[in-house]
Amino acid sequence: MSTRMVLLGPPGAGKGTQAARISERLSIPAISTGDIFRSNVAGGTPLGAQAKAYMDKGEYVPDSITNAMVAGRLAQEDCATGFLLDGYPRTEAQVGELDTMLAQSGKALDVVVEITADVDAVVARLLKRADEQGRTDDTEPVIRRRLEVYTEQTEPLAAIYEARGLLVRVDGVGGVEEVTERIMTALASRSANA
């Protein structure tokens, strides 16, 4: 079965962690805009140079850059039968752009999973990751800014997808395997009710 899904959630909710696991279970590619930006930064590409300045401050990379990158990735062969978008869309304009990209190929989203977690839990996780991986956007002031940007620009997307009947909310607090099982159960009960 093909699944076209989006993972929403604040920084540190476990999007990247769960995207890898769900993509394996469903045999669909996980596309993380954050990972694509970071690999461009590491590779010293012009896209990486543009993105780094925004990421290091906790700001979103401009829609024009992000949308073009996602359109290119979704056009690749492995996305023909499904995909999991991790961290895109993050703004209302990106929602509209994704709608257009999918409509052009006669496709539509099947489900949007919002992983929820409270501020204390996500800040603690990201500070732990800072110790382990040294990501330049995992310092406390930048984490706080990322959370503000999320609340202003991305949190409202849940209501948009809820109004379309696509949204499923999953509690992201708990063990990694436990959260994966919650997502799989939510997806299964959704397809059973479809």
| Segment 100 to 159, residues that bind ligand B4P, using CB under 6 A | 125-126, 129, 137, 146
What single letter denotes the amino acid at residue 144?
Answer: R
Q: Which of 35, 32, 9, 185 is nearest to 113 (CA)?
A: 9
Q: Which residue's Cβ lies closest to ligand B4P?
A: 34
Q: Does 12 bind ligand B4P (CB under 6 A)?
A: yes
Told to check if 161 binds ligand B4P by CB under 6 A, we report: no
**Residue 190 falls in which region: left (phi positive, over 0), alpha (psi -120 to 50) or beta:** alpha
Structure-token match 């954050």, residue found: 34
In whole angstroms, the minimum distance from the beta carbon of 143 to ligand B4P comes to 8
- Please give the sequence-ordered ranges of beta strands (E in DSSP) within 98-191, or none if there are none: 111-116, 167-171
Residues assigned a catalytic role = 15, 90, 129, 135, 146
Residue numbers of the site for ligand B4P (CB under 6 A)? Answer: 11-17, 32-34, 37, 54-55, 58, 60-61, 66, 87-88, 90, 94, 125-126, 129, 137, 146, 174-176, 179
